[in-house]
Structures are given as structure tokens and as C-alpha cells.
């Protein structure tokens, strides 16, 4: 009787260990709170769990695992398996993808943003640079063109940007600097406090972030058509964690990316439709900048910054011209195929 019990117990333990071995649990580091910017990550977790019968799960943590500026470092040491970061937070660590943050690239919608981002992510220079952080690009977090919310009198002429303290990172910060602004790169989570305390006059964000981080609640006006550019925020995975996945789990992850991106685009489209109602509800003036003033902005903060980026990155041994040309050739291809 005891022998039979022992055999049953051993068999049960073996089954338990086998099940444990098959289960994969990943920790995912993001920040802020759940919002349009993180919906593809939430959807990815849902899809992967569904496709693997609950064997592969992801715990999405909003700030509990790392500071948003340290997510790439956390990936490099294996502190978590997946993370989101923005190139402008540490451009020296991800030089190649900063091409996507150059101002006035002419990307006109989120679908184009996905196309150009993923084309650049697939370039060997990007893969090699990310590998230094033990990171593999998984997908982008496409965002529309950033626009300003501000306090006081609306700024609708280029001359009014002189001395303007603006929360803007990466290429956007350089664009505002070129027209006399004073950019500061406080994190998105710190932007509301910076605006409320008067550290900055204006904040450049996509619509979802103005809502999520509360800057719209401090705003008197919003530039509807400045469209100077956007930031690029990839989702990356730890290479060791990715390579240690079973074939089935890796396939479930890879195949879920396009579906997660599609879900993100649909969700964001709904937010954009509601944006005018949000402005009216909060009493925020919608400012339209004239074509003449926009042309001045592009002339000062467009091509000169592009040329400088190409020169600087080439001097550092990056295939800068190749990456830059890839953005525009991808845009052409994407538009031709639609």
C-alpha cells in the first residue's frame, strides 16, 4: 500500500514539475498608468496567454519594476523580460533609432509611423546597437504628431517661441531650441508638476499623454496643427529570455505582434475622434497656426536638424544616411501600396 502511494506521489510530483517547466512567466516594465500608449502591450499579453492555454503569461507593471529612463538598463541585466522605453530618454544608448525622432519627417498617420518604425528596427545597425543592451526590438508604440498645450496667451507665431520653456525630448527638443525655445526633458510622469509649478510654459505630447498625465487640465490652449514630429518608443525583449522560449511560445509571441498593433491603432483612432470634445469640455482653445508660420518653422527646424543628425551620426560610425533614406523610401512604399 505504501509502495503504491509512493509511486502515485512520485508520478504526481513529476507531473507538477513538468507543468512548471512548461509554464513561462514574463515581467514587463512600463510606466504611468494603463492608457492608449500601452494597449498593445496589454493586448499582446492577452493574446499570448490565449494562444498558449495560459502557459505563457506576462505581468505588466506600471512603474513597479523600474524608472522609465532605466528600462533599457533593466533589460540588459535581465531584471525583467520585456520593457517599453522612448529613444529621447537616452539617445546615446539608442542612436540609430533617433532618426525616427527627427522633426518634420512628414509622417502623416499612425499606420505610416508603424511602417517606418518597423523598417528602421529591422536594420542591422539597430539590431547590433540593441544587442549591446541584450535587447531585441519587438514592436513600436506608434504615436501621432506631438502638439503643445500651454498656459497664458496662445503662441501662434514663431517669434513667440523665443524663450518659451517647453517639455520636449529628442529631436522635438532640438526643433524648439532652433526657434528660440528652452527645452527640458522631464519625464512624462513629471510633466504635469512642471507645468503646474511654472517650470515649463508648454508641454509637447501626443493626445493620449495630455489626458493621461493631466497636462490638458492645466492648459489654456492647444496647437492643433503644429505637428513638429513625435517620439519613438519601442517595446523590447531580453535576448536571453526570448531565445530560451520554447518554439511554441516564441511563435505565439511573434505572431501576436501584428494583432496587438492593429488593436492599438483601432483604440487610438477612437481617442482621436473624441479629442475635440475633450478640448471643449475642458475649455481649452484650439489654436491653428498659419501656413506661413509653419513654413518658417520647417525651414529653421527641419532640414538643418536632419543634416546635422546625419553628420553627427556618420562621425560616430553609424550608417546615418542609409537609415535616413530608409525612412523616406518606406514612406513611399507604404503610400504606394495603399
Note down pLDDT in tens along the chain; length 338 residues. Answer: 555 445 545 444 444 444 445 799 999 999 999 999 999 999 999 999 999 999 999 999 999 999 999 999 999 999 999 999 999 899 999 999 999 999 999 898 999 999 999 999 999 999 999 999 999 999 999 999 899 999 999 999 999 999 999 999 888 899 999 999 999 988 888 999 999 999 999 999 989 889 989 999 999 999 999 989 999 999 999 999 999 999 999 999 999 999 999 999 999 999 888 899 999 999 999 999 999 999 999 999 999 999 999 999 999 999 999 999 999 999 999 999 98
* pLDDT value, residue 19: 44
| Domains of the chain, earliest start first | 24-142+232-271 (3.40.190.170), 147-230+276-337 (3.40.190.170)
Q: What are residue 182's phi and psi, to 5 degrees?
A: -120, 95
* pLDDT value, residue 6: 56
What residues contact residue 7 under an 8 Å CB cut-off, 6+ apart? Answer: none
* pLDDT value, residue 271: 86
Reported pTM:
0.84
Q: Grid coordinates standing for 66? A: 523600474
SS3 24: strand
Q: Grid coordinates standing for 221? A: 490652449
Q: Give the residue among 144, 170, 174, 30 at the shortest CA–CA distance from 87.
A: 170
Q: Give the residue among 202, 209, 208, 197 at the shortest CA–CA distance from 223.
A: 202
**Unique residue bearing C-alpha cell 498645450:** 149
Q: Grid coordinates standing for 99? A: 532618426
**Strands (DSSP E) along the chain, which ranges?**
24-30, 56-62, 82-84, 135-139, 147-150, 165-167, 182-184, 202-205, 221-223, 235-238, 285-287
Rg (CA), the chain: 22
List, edge to edge, every strand of the sheet that includes 82-84: 56-62, 24-30, 82-84, 235-238, 135-139
User: Distance of CA 267 to CAs 19, 34, 102, 179, 272, Å?
Assistant: 36, 13, 26, 34, 9
Separate counts of helices (H) and strands (E) for the chain: 13, 11
* pLDDT value, residue 11: 47
Q: Give the residue among 218, 227, 236, 85 at the shortest CA–CA distance from 146.
A: 227
Amino acid at each position: 500500500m505504501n509502495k503504491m502511494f509512493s509511486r502515485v506521489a512520485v508520478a504526481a510530483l513529476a507531473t507538477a514539475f513538468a507543468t512548471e517547466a512548461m509554464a513561462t512567466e514574463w515581467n514587463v516594465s512600463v510606466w504611468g498608468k494603463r492608457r492608449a500608449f500601452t494597449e498593445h502591450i496589454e493586448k499582446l499579453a492577452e493574446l499570448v496567454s490565449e494562444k498558449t492555454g495560459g502557459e505563457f503569461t506576462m505581468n505588466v507593471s506600471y512603474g513597479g519594476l523600474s524608472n522609465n529612463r532605466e528600462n533599457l538598463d533593466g533589460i540588459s541585466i535581465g531584471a525583467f523580460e520585456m520593457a517599453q522605453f522612448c529613444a529621447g530618454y537616452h539617445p546615446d544608448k539608442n542612436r540609430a533609432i533617433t532618426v525616427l525622432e527627427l522633426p518634420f519627417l512628414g509622417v502623416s498617420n499612425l499606420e505610416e509611423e508603424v511602417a517606418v518604425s518597423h523598417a528602421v528596427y529591422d536594420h542591422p545597425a539597430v539590431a547590433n546597437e540593441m544587442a549591446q543592451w541584450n535587447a531585441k526590438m519587438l514592436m513600436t508604440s506608434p504615436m501621432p504628431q506631438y502638439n503643445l498645450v500651454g498656459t497664458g496667451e496662445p503662441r501662434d507665431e514663431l517669434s513667440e517661441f523665443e524663450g518659451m520653456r517647453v517639455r520636449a525630448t529628442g529631436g522635438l527638443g532640438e526643433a524648439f531650441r532652433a526657434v528660440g525655445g528652452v527645452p527640458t526633458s522631464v519625464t512624462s510622469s513629471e510633466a504635469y508638476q512642471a507645468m503646474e509649478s511654472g517650470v515649463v510654459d508648454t508641454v509637447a505630447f501626443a493626445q493620449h499623454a495630455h489626458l493621461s498625465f493631466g497636462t490638458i487640465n492645466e492648459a489654456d490652449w492647444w496647437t492643433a496643427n503644429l505637428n513638429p514630429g513625435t517620439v519613438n518608443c519601442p517595446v523590447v525583449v531580453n535576448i536571453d529570455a526570448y531565445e530560451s522560449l520554447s518554439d511554441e511560445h516564441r511563435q505565439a509571441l511573434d505572431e501576436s505582434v501584428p494583432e496587438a498593433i492593429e488593436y492599438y491603432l483601432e483604440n487610438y483612432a477612437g481617442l482621436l475622434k473624441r479629442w475635440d470634445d475633450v478640448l471643449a469640455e475642458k475649455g481649452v482653445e484650439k489654436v491653428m497656426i498659419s501656413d506661413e508660420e509653419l513654413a518658417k518653422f520647417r525651414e529653421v527646424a527641419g532640414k538643418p536638424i536632419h543634416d546635422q543628425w546625419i553628420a553627427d551620426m556618420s562621425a560616430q560610425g553609424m550608417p546615418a544616411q542609409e537609415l535616413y533614406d530608409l525612412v523616406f523610401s518606406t514612406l513611399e512604399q507604404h503610400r504606394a501600396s495603399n
